[in-house]
Amino acid sequence: MDNQTLYESHPSMFRNHPFGFILCLLLVAAFGLGLLIFLYWRIKCSGITLVVTDKRTTLRTGILSKSITEVYHSDVRSIQVSQSLFQRILGVGSIGISSAGQSGIEIAADGIPDPNRVRELIDAHRTQRE
């Protein structure tokens, strides 16, 4: 009955923005201002979750107010993965998923660890139904 979870992750803080992370730590040591920035960033990243199950992909966003977007794998039209050079080296990237029911990207998530694995999981379960 319940879907089997294949992948679940929050955006990576350090691997997605290593220079921003280091700058934040330096600001903590120098002025304490970096602590506020770091806490805000951490809460923001904790409020975003990408979940891939055997039947659908879900993006949950928000801490106080919640937003949930789901795309069934059988409806996926395209999957876009983009990575900068540093993101490729550190194993993170952005993923965009669009379905046959919408004209644009329905699920867009930045800083996701191993985005190619996410694409492969969706593709594997998308083709099982075809």
Domains by residue range for the chain, with CATH: 5-127 (2.30.29)
Please give the model's pTM, rounded to 2 decimal places.
Answer: 0.87
* pLDDT tens, N- to C-terminus, the chain (130 residues): 457 999 999 999 888 888 888 888 888 877 778 888 888 999 999 999 999 999 999 999 999 999 999 999 999 999 999 999 989 999 999 999 998 877 789 999 999 999 999 999 999 988 654 4
Rounded-to-integer distance, Cα 89 and Cα 72, Å = 30
pLDDT at position 17 = 87
Rounded-to-integer distance, Cα 10 and Cα 109, Å = 9
pLDDT at position 129 = 47
